[in-house]
Structures are given as structure tokens and as C-alpha cells.
Structure 1
Amino acid sequence: MTLHPEIAKFIAGLPTPPEGPLDPVSMRAADEAHVAPVEERLPLHAVDDVTVRTASGEVPVRVYTPVEADSYGVLVYFHGGAFFLGSLETHDHVARSLAQETGLKIISVGYRLAPEAAFPAGLDDCYAVVRWASEESGSLAWDGTTLAVAGDSSGGNFVAAVAARAHDDGFHQITHQVLYYPSLDLDFDVDRYASLRENAIGYGLETAGLKPFNAFYINNGADPANPLVSPIKRADLTGLPPALIVTAEHDPLRDEGEHYARRLREAGGEATVSRYEGAGHGFVQHFSWIPEYHGVFAETRDFLSRR
């Protein structure tokens, strides 16, 4: 299937990237400039900004409560942005849609970004918030059942790394992992996956852009051979939580997400792959308003309802 016409129109209208090295500060500012004002966002019962105190410092989180209830299942969400972009604000609409559709309490994590914070700072923040969520059952009204982790792109990388780290620590309360077009292999050899060549140019995220985008993370202390950096390199995937892995037809990262699912199944785990036709990388963040793509939230709900 060809690229969805609305996505194709958007990509055609993108300005030519400036020459020279990437500037994370200006790129973050450009992202924030597109955030909708609060009064135009999806209304929920409550949205609260909270500071989580961890062993490595304070982590800002945003807690989304969909409706008033005595207790809730919980989903901890890690936003994408190539480890150096994204924020609680740029992905606020994703968290709101997840809360509305799943009925779970969503905790979105404002983890530290590269290059200012080297690996494993962001991962540490995400993991610490998951542990905090399990311990704060009183203030969060967690019902003690669903404790899911979800993330898009580099946030999907953190999902897989957090699930593996939790397993190794003997923390087995994570019930589900949801990865939207995850970046799981930071070895960007273009011959590793066919989609890196098939979707190299013209679909938004381009294969040539992967290395410079992720350089802020890799060049500041992250070794691509480390399974906590490239979760697909983990030798033993047994015992990890059931996974929903959402991929996009026209995404350079499509095949590594689907390969990760195969490896989970080969290890005896449960892994569901859902490839969205006509979509490119980032469609959950940027194009979930298109009806056929908004269904990703209902699909997530259905997956999380299975125990």
C-alpha cells in the first residue's frame, strides 16, 4: 500500500532541514511550538503534574485519570524523540488518548534527555517511575492488577529495556509491554534489516537520519552492543511480559520491531505484531487523528484487557 495521502501531503510540505549539525535546543523548541493549548486538549477526569523522588534525582511525571473510580489499572508511558526530543507536552495528546480508550491511569514520564544526560539517565528515570508506581498503590489507587509499560520509538526502546531490567532484578509486576514502532537496535548497518533499505527515503524518518539523530545518545555513553541500549541484542528473552508491537509499513525501523516479536515468541513468550499499512514512523504521535490509525488505542485497550 502506498503512503497514506494525508501523511504524504504533510511530508511534502516539510521544510528542507538546515545544513550543519543538529541543534537539540532549537529542535525541541520547534516541537513544543506545535503543542495544542490546554483548553483544546481531550478532557479527562483529572490531569496532575507530580514529582517522583528517586535514588538518582527528581523525575517529573504527569498522571492522567480517565474517570472517577475507586481503583485503576496503571500504564507507565515513555515518550519518543530519538532520546533527545519529546516531552510531557509534545506527547500529552497520546497519553490522553490512552487514558480515555483503555480506562487505565496513565503515568507519562518526563525522563532526562541526551545529550545533557548520558546513558543510562533516561532509562534509570523510566525504571524508577515504574517501581514507584508499584509502591504508590495508595496515592495512585492502583488496583494491584495491570501494571503496563508503553512507549513510542525511543520510548519503545525504554519499554523493552525496562522490562528486561525488571526481570533481571526479580521485579515481576509488569504485566504487559506495548511498543509503538520501537527503536530496538542502535547498530545502524543498513543491511541488518530489509526495511532500512526499502523505506530509506521519502517516508518522513529516513535511514540516513538514524545515526545523527541517535548520536546524542550513543556518543554520550551508550554502547550499541549493550542490551540495555539495543534491547534486541539481549541473548535470553525468556520470562518477559506479553508484548504488543505496533509497526508501520513505511518505517525504516519496521523490521527490527517485528524481528524482536519473533525472538520473544521463540523464547516462549507472547508477542503480537500489528503492522499499520500506509503508515510511516511516528504515526501514533502525529497522525492518530486519521480514523484508521486512531484504532491503535482501541487495539492497545484490547491487548491490555488480556491477562
Structure 2
Amino acid sequence: MSTLESSLAGHAVSKPGASQPTNEGLDLIEDHIVPQLDPIFLEYFKSVIAKKPPAHEIPIEHVRAHPEDFRPPCALDTSVGYERVADHVVSSQDGASIPVRVYHPDPARYGPGPYPVHLNFHGGGFVLGDLHAEASLCLSMREAGVAVIDVDYRHCPEAVWGKCIQDGWAALNWVRDSHATININPTSVSLGGVSAGGHISIVLQHMARDAGIPLKLCMPSVPPSTDGLTFEFYTQSPFPSFHEFRRGPVLPWKRIQYFGQQCFPRDRIPELRKLWPDWWLAPIRATNWKGLCDTYVRTAQCDPLRDEGEAYAMKLIAGGAKVTVKRYMGCPHTFMYLDVLKQKHEYDADAVDALKVAHGVQEIPR
């Protein structure tokens, strides 16, 4: 039992006169949202998140100077001390060097390879993240018997938005071109990511189809599918969840605006829109929905991006793709980063199961 679960259990049996749980910190969440959230998360919010300065008030310069303070709770340094983990560099379209970290599965369970491969694109609003951020998720996913490649694409504001897509495309092609070097099967490729990384993965899903590159699976989690980072007002979104959870606990509207300021400064939006196809910014506005790969879309109940992620899934279904959609109840946007939540462990197990099925992986009989 986790520390927070133990704490909640204690609250449940408290006696008159004993110390009672406090709601201090929950005033930061709108009243109608609180009953929808998992009680374990609410305890975490009060004890951890509510005690920190609002993330949207922290200057980007400070964030860059102290990256260790802004990594998600699941972050892990796997650069040393972990078996079958190796770093490589991918050259992007403009010659930029993109770090990637490759996680190979256990040959005692899955043989000597070559292995199926899954590309992971981390979350962070296109602004935050590195090879530490989702390392624990990558370690978990390789338990499916696939090699996992974590891609540290370029971030805003140092790089113009859209370079992240080019970097992801370069990583996908690197996998296909360098498969012998990294012992993977280039005919069995999947990709996915959390939040901003989910956005990258669904754009690449369309690009791969257009280039004739077969994918076994696209696995976006809590993905934005609109150009919400360019909105001036939250009311510009047509999706109810964007309105309902605009003052939610993890990705409130002010945090979305913060990311938008780094990626799409208001005075540069017209210029930036001209750099890329419109559907790169808003994949839900793509014009061709035929021939797209199998997709597993995962959303969170108490997430402003919930409805647009599920609407993207409906577009895929209408186009003829095989799609699975799962909504994790009681959860905020980045619930998969929080080890105290049972839904996070369910999420990890779901990813392993989905990757095994998509790639047809079987363990060596013991």
C-alpha cells in the first residue's frame, strides 16, 4: 500500500476528536471537478502540487536553468546502471542532432532479436521534457518484448514549433535505415506519446501513411488534436471538456496559455502558420482519413484535452481504421506519471498488452 493510500485508509476510520483531513489546496480546483477526481490524486494534489508555485508563473529562463525541478514524478536517469540501454544520435532534416535512447528487451524472455520497435515521444507542451522525463515508462514498455526508442525532439521557444515533427519524422526514418545497427525489425514499427508527444505521433501517423511506411500501431495518450496553443480565449475550443476543466488541477487554461506563449507568440502566429501544413497544428483537420494504421487512444476523465482526443479517434473510425479508445476515470491530464495511482499501473499494463498484440510478440516458453 502506498503512503497516500495508507493516509486515506487512516482518514476512513478516524474517530471523533481525531485529526481530520483538510481540504486546504482544493480551493485551486473548481468545486464541480473535485468529486470527479480519484481521492488518492486529491491527496497527492494537496500534499505536493498545491504547495508549489503555479507553473504558469515560472519564467522559462528559470525552468531552463533548473530542469531537474520541472521533470515529472516518473522521471528517471537511465543513462548509466541499466542493462540494454544505449544512447544514439539522429540527424534531423536541417542537420540538427537529436538524442535518442534505445531500450532493448530481455533476450532471455524474447530471444536475440531483431525486435519489434516502438518510438516514444514525451509530453511537456512542446516546451518541457528530455530523456529522463519518461524513462520509467520506456522501461515498462520494453517488457512487451519490443525495443523502445525515446526521442528527445527539439523544444520551443529555442526551436520554432514544427521542428518537433521534423525530428520525429527523422527518428522514424532512422529506425528504418539503421535497423541492423540497433537490432530491430524495420517491418514491425509502432509509435506513440503522451500529450504533446501524442500530438507528434498522430501527425506522424498520417505522414507514414502518405509515405507508404507501414505502422503496426499508433498509441497516443491524452493527445491534443486541435491548435489550442494558438487560442486567445478558451472559449475558442468547440469541445466541452476544454471548458469544463479549464480550472482543473494539472493542465488548467493558464498553463495551456503558458505553453502557447512559448510555442506560438501572438505576434508570430500568422507567420508560424505559414511554415507548416494546417493539419500539423490541428491533426483533427487532416483531409485524408483513409488507410491509417490501428490506433489505441487513451484519455483521462478530468482533462481539458479529453474530448478532442476522443474526437480524433472518431475521425479514424469513420475513415475505416481499427481503433480502441479507453478513458481512465477519476484522472487528470498526466495521471500516467503518478505512481500512487492505480490507474497509472493499469495504464502501464495496457501499453504492454497493446504492444504485444500489435507486434505479435510471444515470450520464449520456460
Q: Give the TM-score normalised by structure 2.
A: 0.76
Change (3 A) 1:32 1:211: closer
Query: Contact between 2:56 and 2:254, CA under 8 Å: does it hold in 1?
Result: no
In 2, the alpha carbon distance for the partners of 1:265 and 1:272 equals: 9
Q: Which residue of 1 aligns with 2:288?
A: 236
2:118–2:149 Cα contact (<8 Å) kept:
yes
Residue 6 (1) aligns with residue 40 (2): yes
CA distance in 1, matches of 2:323, 2:179: 28
The one-letter code sitting in structure 1 at the alignment partner of 2:338 is F
The answer to whether the 8 Å contact 1:222/1:229 transfers is no
Deviations 1:23-73 (A, max 9, x none): 22423522249676648x9x8641111112343221100001121222210
Instruction: Give every structure 1 segment of 4 or more consecutive aligned residues whose post-TM-superposition deviation is greater than 6 Å.
Output: none
Q: Which residue of 1 aligns with 2:106?
A: 67
User: In the alignment, residue 9 of structure 1 is paired with which amino acid?
Assistant: E
Identity of aligned residues (%): 26
Q: Is the 8 A contact 1:45 1:66 kept in 2?
A: no
Letter in structure 1 aligned against 2:45: I
Any unmatched runs of 5+ in structure 1? none
Match of 1:121 among 120, 140, 163: 163
Q: Does 1:27 align with 2:63?
A: yes
How far apart are the structure 2 equivalents of 1:88 and 1:138? Answer: 23
Which residue of the partner structure matches residue 31 of structure 2?
none
Q: 1:247 to 1:81 in 2, by over 3 A?
A: same
**Corresponding residue to 1:299 among 344, 350, 357:** 350
Aligned-pair CA distance for 1:158? 0.2
Matches of 2:308 and 2:138 in 1, distance apart?
Answer: 25
Contact 1:225 1:233 in 2 (8 A): no
1:80 matched residue in structure 2: 123
Structure-2 residue corresponding to 1:89: 132
The Cα offsets for residues 240-266 of structure 1, whole Å up to 9 and x where unpaired, read as: 111110000000000000000001001
More strand by share: 1
Moved more, 245-254 or 267-276: 267-276
Once residues 333 and 56 of structure 2 are traced to their aligned partners in structure 1, the CA distance between those partners, rounded to angstroms, is: 23
- Please say if residues 77 and 135 of structure 2, whose CA atoms lie closer than 8 Å, have aligned partners that are also in contact: no
Matched, 1:207 2:258: no
SS in 1 for 2:148: strand
Q: Structure 1's 280 and 140: CA in aligned 2 closer, same or farther, altered over 3 A?
A: same
1:97-128 deviation per Cα after TM superposition (whole angstroms, max 9, x unaligned): 1112x221000001111111002211111110
The offset of 1:171, in angstroms, is: 3.1
What pairs up with 1:50-61 in 2 under 5 angstroms? 50-56=88-94, 57-61=96-100
**Unaligned ranges ≥5, structure 2:** 1-34, 360-366
CA deviation after TM superposition for structure 1 residue 295, in Å: 1.7
Residues 171, 23 of structure 1: alpha-carbon distance in 2 compared, 3 angstrom cutoff: farther
Query: Aligned partners of 1:19, 1:202: CA distance in 2, in Å?
Result: 13
TM-score by length of 1: 0.89
Assess, with a 3 A threshold, how the Cα gap between structure 1 residues 165 and 137 changes in structure 2: closer, same or farther. same
Match of 2:141 in 1: 98
Q: 2 CA distance for matches of 1:206 and 1:218?
A: 18
Check the 8 A contact 1:44/1:66 in 2, yes or no: no
Q: In 1, distance between residues paired with 2:280 and 2:256?
A: 18
Residues 67-76 or 189-198, more deviating: 189-198
Q: Among residues 299, 308, 317, which one is paired with 1:256 in the alignment?
A: 308
CA RMSD of aligned residues (A): 2.5
After TM superposition, give the deviation of residue 145 of structure 1 in Å.
3.8
Query: Number of paired residues?
Result: 302
Question: Is the 1:44–1:96 Cα contact (8 Å) retained in structure 2?
Answer: no
3-state SS of the aligned residue for 2:208?
helix
- Provide the rounded CA distance (Å) in 2 between the counterparts of 1:194 and 1:203: 17
Are the structure 2 counterparts of residues 287 and 236 from structure 1 closer, same or farther at C-alpha, using a change threshold of 3 Å?
same
Secondary structure at 1:89 match in 2: coil
Question: 2:76 touches 2:136 (CA, 8 Å); kept in 1?
Answer: no
